[in-house]
Structure 1
Amino acid sequence: METSALPVTLDRSSATPLAVQLAEQLRAAAGDGRLRSGDRLPSTRALAGELGVSRTVTAAAYEQLHAEGWIAGRHGSGTYITTAPPGSLPATAAPVRRDTTQDSVVDLTPGSPWAGGIEQSAWRRAWRAASHVAPMVRPNRSGLPEYRAAVAEHLLRHRGLRVGDTDVVLATAGTSTAAAELGRAVLRPGDMVAVEEPGYQRAVGALRAAGLRVVPATVDADGLLVDAIPATVRAVYCSPAHQYPLGGRMSAGRRVALVERAREQGWLVIEDDYDGELRYDVAPLPLLAALAPDVVVHLGTTSKILTPTLGVGWIVAPPPVVAAVLAHRDATGSGPAPAGQLVVVELARNGDLGRHLRRLRRELSERRTLVVDTLVRGEVRVLGDDAGAHVVVPVASAEAERALIRAAADRGLLLDGLARHHIGRARWFGIALGYAACSREQLKRALPVLVELVGDGAG
């Protein structure tokens, strides 16, 4: 894009510093689509000359936008917009389409539960019992009391979180919906939220739809890089127990550092407990919500441990956050549907939920061993903790990732690449390989094919 085409007008009579004005206008242009991901920006010197300001102004604006993740420099090439406008996805970030009508396709994408392991007699019993509950006259914005009590018991038994008062527990329609509610009820339009990079793009979409500015927060093998989070954010969205999609855990030191920064700078930490119940090497890791209930909002869902059919999850939050969410629900007439809550209550009441979780951990632990052993014997590199329902197979480039996905599709395997899990320019490439959605026999047949494809250079 030519310098003269930049949508920038500086007001020298304003009390707002010129560098702040410039950053705000470039951010807004990138946010509404006037500047697109991949557009090249002028150098700080050229832009300063065009606008009639000192280079200090343009350099400060670029530095702020770089810290927020809106722009990135390419060595020897220049500075480029890296973040797409809200509601859009880059070409490499198309969501994976799961066509369950094609029996010949083996679904190896992450994020799906082992729904086939749900005991059918327990499932039918829970639905029958739920159907005997009389129809409600008025909606319950918090969620059914018995459901919130069941969630509190589940968190105590399986996540080590002691909820002293179920008033801090709210029913939700799932993690993404909860993120959107927090964005609208607790934060303000234009507030900045840091989300792990790579990270959960549905949460990114939900937060952007709430009018928030999402910036990337870098992760490595030990989780979120706390020192790299811009101080100006209002909230941080993270998955410390089993980072999605890379599969690592946030180290104890970084957990403490995140909580300390949150308290010092007034951040809200949104803890997505993705696959938190599913650890196979040690006991499930302690929750951030247990470490700092004053600044952490814990999000959970039944869609990974049971099935998305139920459409229910939960929030555990500080009382002011709970009050804000309830006020938002009252004002908008929204709230979680009770049917799925009733089924969860019955599954918990009869002990079926606990029995299913024990079977789930045993089954997925065995599947993970099968996956890792097969890939390692085939000299395929594998990343990710001994936890959850997916591992990561890294590859060298975006081109290699796309080639592997295409080659696998030709052989009847549905894969999910890492590139689409980025907000801006992708830095991680490979496959997030799920092993819960398919049957064990399908998995056994698919793994040698994947080893072959990687060995042949498709990856």
Structure 2
Amino acid sequence: MPQDVPAAGSPLLELAIDLRRDGPLPLAVQLADALRHAATIGQLRDGDRLPSTRALARHLAVSRTVTAAAYEQLHAEGWIVGRRGSGTYVTTRPPGASGETPRPPVPDAPASEAPKVVLTPGVPWAGGIDRAAWRRAWRAAADIEPDLRPQRAGLPSYREAVVEHLLRHRGLLVGGWAPDNVLTTGGTSTAVGELAAAVLPRGAKVAVEEPGYQRAVGALRAAGARVVHVPVDHSGLIVERIPAGVAAVYCSPAHQFPIGGRLPAERRVALIERARAEGWLIFEDDYDGELRYDVAPLPVLASMAPDVVVHLGTTSKILTPTLGAGWMLAAEPVTSAVLEHRERTGSGPAPAGQRVLVELARHGDLGRHLRRLRRELSQRRALVVEGLAAEGVEVFGDRAGAHVVLPLPDLETEQRFVAEAAEKHGIVLDGLGRHHDGTPRWHGLALGYSACTRDELAAALPLLARTVHRAG
């Protein structure tokens, strides 16, 4: 493509591009990321003319090799195009730049089969996935020759993509660890069950948050563990309430599920100190740690104590459960025990979803989706909080994730609220009662805002507020 286009007049030269020479990423990668981001948020638009690589290099005070490599990468991804004798232009809009992905029309259904408005937590914003990128990733994954043998640890390319993801979006440097520290999983529940079966003695006590993620509780019991409850408050797990004699603690420190608090620094330190002193492991469920809207994502516990923390992540909340892929980051004794368990049982993660994730990451589609996801869910959270506050209803939960909690006075009110919303208004809600393993202590709704459209969400808020007022 021509590289002698004058620099004057290009909107690119008006952008503040910060290239960090002491950063972990090459300058060309940083520049390509910055230009993608500029296009994603509309600072660069379809048809905008870019400066030549030479002019941009002078503007940024970098080598022309840097700008040429960045342009070549963006050209290969289809973001820019060179026109002979004219210059280089932005040639595509970012996926979904004009709003939400349109949904196909739904045929009229009888009243008994009326479409439901889903306001439950734990459901991803699947409507925001760029369908062209999704299809491209599946086609590329299908071009790879079928495997002859299972890869118990997961595909090397997927594990490399996870390392890059943890660096970029969770600030976790795993480069100093051995590659075997990262294992592919079938998701968080599967990983918890594997850990209990492979690492813990049968019948070992495992402390879990109450209320908490009940599928993890089920996976622990299915693997032969004895579950003991630890209460939570608005700041997450109450560390001093963990009983003595446990073999592991399962928790969600970045965004406690379902109450929504984040574990403060002093509790994190106390949790790690007890784990080391008493010889137990911490199973860290980082199910939506990428989704914070007030500050940068909180550091993961694994970065503080890799010797006692097993870090668990999943693609189910940031993309879709369709992939059936997650990851586990742990010390070598833990990963070795899990691999031995997989060999004995003939189990292991399916490769199809891993290959798709690799392709999404390879072409920058994963990063673009996460940026759009954070922006969209941040706006939706503001819509929920401000919309309910305008009706005199307060909610709680950190500025993170894809749900807030709407408190109610008691379990009976909660159950009646959920039933009436479904029967009378076609709104699917989730009460806090079902997230308890024992007698419910917290009452209210875990109100999700990612599965529906914005219009559905806005229409449901006044109805919810009126019902809460009637409930007192």
Q: Which moved more, 1:400-409 or 1:245-254?
A: 400-409
Other structure's SS at 1:284 match: coil
| In 2, Cα distance between equivalents of 1:379 and 1:267 | 45
| Structure 1: gaps (5+ residues) | 1-100
| In 2, Cα distance between equivalents of 1:379 and 1:317 | 46
1:371 corresponds to: 384
Other structure's SS at 1:454 match: helix
Structure 1 residue 155 and structure 2 residue 169: aligned?
no
Other structure's SS at 2:344 match: helix
- 1:46-445 equivalences under 5 Å are 102=113, 104-164=115-175, 165-409=178-422, 410-445=424-459
| In 1, Cα distance between equivalents of 2:235 and 2:429 | 25
1:451 corresponds to: 465
| In 1, Cα distance between equivalents of 2:350 and 2:119 | 30
| In 1, Cα distance between equivalents of 2:440 and 2:179 | 41
Identity %, equivalent residues: 67
1:66 corresponds to: none
Per-residue CA deviations over 1:202-230 (Å, capped at 9, x if unaligned) read 00000000010001111111111111101
- TM-score normalized by structure 2? 0.75
Deviating 4+ runs (over 3 angstroms)? none
| In 2, Cα distance between equivalents of 1:300 and 1:155 | 9
Give me the CA root mean square deviation: 1.0
Per-residue CA deviations over 1:154-178 (Å, capped at 9, x if unaligned) read 0000001111232100001000000
| In 2, Cα distance between equivalents of 1:236 and 1:398 | 27
Count, aligned residues: 358
1:32 corresponds to: none
- Deviation, 1:378, is 1.0
Other structure's SS at 1:202 match: helix
Are the counterparts in 1 of residues 385 and 394 from structure 2 also a CA contact under 8 Å? no
1:81 corresponds to: none
- Deviation, 1:232, is 0.7
Residues 394 and 377 of structure 1, relative CA distance in 2, 3 Å threshold = same
Other structure's SS at 1:129 match: helix
Are the counterparts in 2 of residues 279 and 387 from structure 1 also a CA contact under 8 Å? yes
- Deviation, 1:142, is 0.2
- Deviation, 1:380, is 1.1
| In 1, Cα distance between equivalents of 2:287 and 2:113 | 28
Task: Name the aligned partner's letter for residue 181 of structure 2.
Answer: V
Per-residue CA deviations over 1:73-127 (Å, capped at 9, x if unaligned) read xxxxxxxxxxxxxxxxxxxxxxxxxxxx955210000000000000011000000
Are the counterparts in 2 of residues 152 and 166 from structure 1 also a CA contact under 8 Å? no
1:76 corresponds to: none
- Deviation, 1:377, is 1.0
| In 2, Cα distance between equivalents of 1:402 and 1:103 | 22
Are the counterparts in 2 of residues 364 and 389 from structure 1 also a CA contact under 8 Å? yes
Are the counterparts in 2 of residues 280 and 387 from structure 1 also a CA contact under 8 Å? yes
Are the counterparts in 1 of residues 396 and 406 from structure 2 also a CA contact under 8 Å? yes
- TM-score normalized by structure 1? 0.77
Per-residue CA deviations over 1:110-156 (Å, capped at 9, x if unaligned) read 00000000001100000000000001011000000000000000000
Residues 252 and 437 of structure 1, relative CA distance in 2, 3 Å threshold = same
| In 2, Cα distance between equivalents of 1:312 and 1:192 | 27
| In 2, Cα distance between equivalents of 1:275 and 1:313 | 12
Are the counterparts in 2 of residues 280 and 361 from structure 1 also a CA contact under 8 Å? yes
Residues 428 and 361 of structure 1, relative CA distance in 2, 3 Å threshold = same
| In 1, Cα distance between equivalents of 2:285 and 2:187 | 11
Are the counterparts in 2 of residues 244 and 274 from structure 1 also a CA contact under 8 Å? no
Task: Name the aligned partner's letter for residue 135 of structure 2.
Answer: R
| In 2, Cα distance between equivalents of 1:378 and 1:189 | 51
| In 1, Cα distance between equivalents of 2:288 and 2:392 | 27
| In 2, Cα distance between equivalents of 1:103 and 1:370 | 25
- Deviation, 1:381, is 2.0
Task: Name the aligned partner's letter for residue 361 of structure 1.
Answer: R
Are the counterparts in 2 of residues 408 and 453 from structure 1 also a CA contact under 8 Å? no
Other structure's SS at 1:161 match: coil
Are the counterparts in 2 of residues 407 and 453 from structure 1 also a CA contact under 8 Å? no
Task: Name the aligned partner's letter for residue 456 of structure 1.
Answer: R
| In 2, Cα distance between equivalents of 1:311 and 1:215 | 28
| Structure 2: gaps (5+ residues) | 1-111
Task: Name the aligned partner's letter for residue 411 of structure 1.
Answer: H
Other structure's SS at 1:309 match: helix
